[in-house]
């Protein structure tokens, strides 16, 4: 028997906040108490929303629908109308942002530590919520933790994956995309994300933007102003034409020796994030200055 949508959503949100208040969200700093991420925000989408089909173009032709992601773990005849997607945005902490704003080439310590803590904090949270739901008899799937998920080369976007938390966030009314491809939410784009496909009704979050307004909240696209993420990028991976994922990836790999030298306990870590800090959309949605033009992502 399914549970009340609003009650279940409230329980999930409370559980997420509780998890992030505990040691699963520590960033590994020697003081033992610094958090990797701040308090999350949440959005919900219906798996049968026809807009999911647009992601076959916006992400990749092989992009998993919520139904396909769910069936990869539970192949027992679910239908899209039975499934809902919960999306969580985990913002960087105020301390991390203030430190990162001062960087001009390599990442600050807080940013490097939050990136290194991703699997423990973000994946740990997703697994925790999945177990929480399963204990209630509700099936749930974390799409990027299933055997079918992978990244792959893309002729259109260089590198892509078979599930995008950012696009799920767009679907769930949480925000639109910036020039650097980050999802601009009400807590900005300095964040990490996760999502779950749940076999129980959840209260769908209305989208405040039109289905085609992928870039509504980016000052570059809506008014031709800003473009500060271009100047912030140390790799030259962001231009007026968009985001070069290969240059971005190469710079991330190059950051490892710097991080290991300065914080030896972060063995093998990599990070950057300069385009997500010291910009108008870092911690909030900037004011829309003009009518946005439809843009693909």
The H or E element spanning position 160 is strand 158-161
Whether the predicted pLDDT of 143 surpasses 80: yes
Task: Name the residue among 288, 251, 289, 242 with its Cα closest to residue 272.
Answer: 251
Q: Where are the domains of the chain?
A: 5-276
Q: How confident is the model at residue 61 (pLDDT cuts 50, 70, 90)?
A: confident
Q: How confident is the model at residue 294 (pLDDT cuts 50, 70, 90)?
A: very low
What is each CA distance from 95 to 32, 36, 143, in whole angstroms?
15, 10, 31
Global pTM value: 0.94
Q: How confident is the model at residue 297 (pLDDT cuts 50, 70, 90)?
A: very low
Q: What is the pLDDT of residues 79-137, one digit of tens each?
A: 999 999 999 999 999 999 999 999 999 999 999 999 999 999 999 999 999 999 999 99
Instruction: Give the position of tokens 């108008």.
Output: 280
> What is d(CA 36, CA 32) in angstroms, rounded to the nearest whole number?
11
The dihedral formed by the CA atoms of 61, 62, 64 and 67, expressed in degrees to the nearest 10: 90
What is each CA distance from 36 to 84, 144, 202, 209, 217, in whole angstroms?
27, 20, 28, 30, 26
Instruction: Give the position of tokens 């308090």.
Output: 39
Query: What is the percent of the chain where pLDDT is above 90?
Result: 85
Q: Which two tokens stand for residue 151?
A: 């990244």
> What is d(CA 72, CA 289) in angstroms, rounded to the nearest whole number?
43
Whether the predicted pLDDT of 291 surpasses 60: no
106: left (phi over 0), alpha (psi -120 to 50) or beta: beta
Average pLDDT, the chain: 94
Helix/strand/coil percentages in the chain, nearest 5: 40, 15, 45
CA 12 and chain centroid, separation: 18
Q: Are 36 and 194 in contact (CB under 8 A)?
A: no
Whether the predicted pLDDT of 289 surpasses 70: no
Question: Beta strand pairing status for 140-141 and 183-184?
Answer: unpaired
> What is d(CA 271, CA 229) in angstroms, rounded to the nearest whole number?
16
Mean pLDDT of all residues in 31-55: 95
Task: Name the residue among 294, 63, 283, 90 with its Cα closest to residue 167.
Answer: 63
């Amino acid at each position: 028997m399914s549970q009340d949508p609003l009650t279940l959503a409230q329980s999930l949100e409370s559980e997420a906040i509780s998890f992030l208040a505990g040691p699963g969200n520590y960033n590994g700093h020697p003081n033992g108490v610094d958090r990797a991420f701040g308090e999350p925000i949440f959005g919900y989408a219906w798996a049968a929303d026809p807009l999911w089909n647009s992601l076959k173009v916006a992400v990749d032709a092989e992009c998993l629908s919520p139904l396909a992601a769910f069936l990869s773990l539970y192949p027992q005849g679910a239908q899209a109308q039975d499934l809902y997607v919960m999306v969580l945005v985990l913002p960087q902490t105020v301390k991390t942002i203030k430190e990162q704003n001062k960087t001009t080439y390599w990442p600050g310590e807080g940013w490097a530590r939050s990136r290194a803590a991703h699997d423990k904090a973000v994946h740990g949270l997703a697994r925790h919520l999945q177990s929480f739901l399963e204990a209630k008899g509700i099936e749930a799937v974390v799409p990027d933790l299933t055997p079918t998920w992978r990244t792959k080369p893309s002729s259109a976007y260089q590198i892509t994956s078979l599930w995008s938390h950012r696009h799920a966030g767009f679907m769930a009314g949480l925000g639109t995309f910036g020039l650097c491809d980050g999802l601009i939410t009400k807590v900005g784009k300095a964040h990490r994300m996760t999502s779950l496909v749940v076999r129980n009704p959840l209260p769908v979050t209305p989208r405040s933007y039109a289905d085609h307004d992928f870039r509504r909240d980016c000052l570059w696209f809506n008014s031709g102003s800003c473009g500060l993420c271009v100047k912030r990028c140390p790799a030259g991976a962001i231009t007026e034409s968009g985001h070069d994922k290969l240059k971005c990836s190469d710079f991330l790999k190059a950051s490892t020796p710097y991080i290991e030298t300065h914080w030896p306990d972060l063995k093998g870590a990599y990070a950057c994030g300069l385009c997500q800090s010291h910009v108008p959309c870092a911690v909030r949605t900037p004011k829309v200055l003009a009518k946005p033009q439809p843009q693909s992502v």
